[in-house]
Structure 1
């Protein structure tokens, strides 16, 4: 079992990490601003679902393979970069125009959720970060290591839900201001495309070592 001191320390650090600029919170911000609060929250749930996968990988020792294999790292990061470029192309081609009440295109919840999952799972840096970060708070005399890692992963996911949920809430308010301005919509779509390309480039050229 995790001690109260370890729990509070780890949770506080996780909140700070969630607030620091990075691909995930920028991704949530842009989806919320362009598609609304619900889209941002669905993307957040997708990202946190991806974190479940990384937590399980570390708990089971699978992430060690990723950390040791340059080939595995390269394949996964290129897949993630390709997906981000696909999102950039979609944002660039997104139609603009006023959205009359009741006539807006219905939101596809599965698409928003799966975007978050893919964004997270195809970023190998997350797996390596978890492999380096979570074990620092594990104590061999505090019970099964796998259970401690799972608990730490759950705390990190809770912190991510709180931080990214807050980003979704506030970013969606900005999106409402742009809702009926074609010029603003186009600028926002172009900004999203540029950010996605930047994230793709950052991921594609990232090194395996932290």
Structure 2
């Protein structure tokens, strides 16, 4: 069940840059290491609803219901576009700037969690990723999925925290140049718009 093959597969998935990684890096650059850790925590807890849905079979309903899938997808697209706006807006929640972080940790955590909660593909992803690593015993299938999902969540937190803290280390170097900060803000905005566009064309 929890095999080297599972660890390697999960690690590759977690390391791959996605919306959560970009958000965590943006928090590290824009607000420092504490904000990055809150972002990593939020992204991790945002996985939980998708894991529960996959373990209880609700992901299959989401996969077969075009209306429900599209509603979740549109909410996700809208939120990503909101993040893009926050990256370029003067004083926005995602903008890279020199002053210290004034956002509460829970606010950052909540925004990070929403990134994964509003991604309808995540529960379907768990439904595809976890079953090959189960023992095949129907009676324990749900418990095994929760165990594997818990390991996946732990890996997510530590990897994302690593990304965010690494970005925070570069913060002091970047803050001395307003030009670089503007470029970073526009880059983050462009990435979130691109991710929103990709999500908009996803199909159940």
How far 1:97 moved relative to its partner? 9.5
Q: Is the partner of 1:165 in helix, strand or coil? A: helix
Q: Which sits farther off after the overlay, 158-167 or 133-142?
A: 133-142
The answer (yes or no) to whether the contact 1:34–1:188 under 8 Å persists in 2 is no
Q: Is the partner of 1:74 in helix, strand or coil? A: helix
TM-score of the pair, normalised by structure 1:
0.88
- Counterpart selection for 1:118 from 111, 114, 117: 114
Number of residues of Structure 1 aligned to a counterpart in Structure 2: 201
The answer (yes or no) to whether the contact 1:80–1:123 under 8 Å persists in 2 is yes
Quote the residue 1:7 is aligned against: 3
Q: What's the RMSD between the two structures over aligned residues? A: 2.0
Q: Which sits farther off after the overlay, 162-171 or 146-155?
A: 162-171
Instruction: Give the whole-Å Cα distance in 2 for the aligned partners of 1:15 and 1:81.
Output: 26
Provide runs of 4+ in structure 1 moved above 3 Å. 95-99
How far 1:104 moved relative to its partner? 3.0
How far 1:21 moved relative to its partner? 2.8
Q: Which sits farther off after the overlay, 10-19 or 173-182?
A: 173-182
TM-score of the pair, normalised by structure 2:
0.90
Say if 2:87 is the partner of 1:91: yes
Instruction: Give the whole-Å Cα distance in 2 for the aligned partners of 1:82 and 1:182.
Output: 29
How far 1:34 moved relative to its partner? 2.0
Quote the residue 2:77 is aligned against: 81
Quote the residue 1:19 is aligned against: 15
- Counterpart selection for 1:130 from 107, 111, 126: 126
Instruction: Give the whole-Å Cα distance in 1 for the aligned partners of 2:96 and 2:176.
Output: 7
The answer (yes or no) to whether the contact 1:84–1:199 under 8 Å persists in 2 is yes
How far 1:149 moved relative to its partner? 0.5
Residues 59-80 of structure 1: per-residue CA shift (max 9 Å, x gap): 1111111111111111101101
Residue ranges of structure 2 left out of the alignment (5+ in a row)? none
Say if 2:39 is the partner of 1:54: no
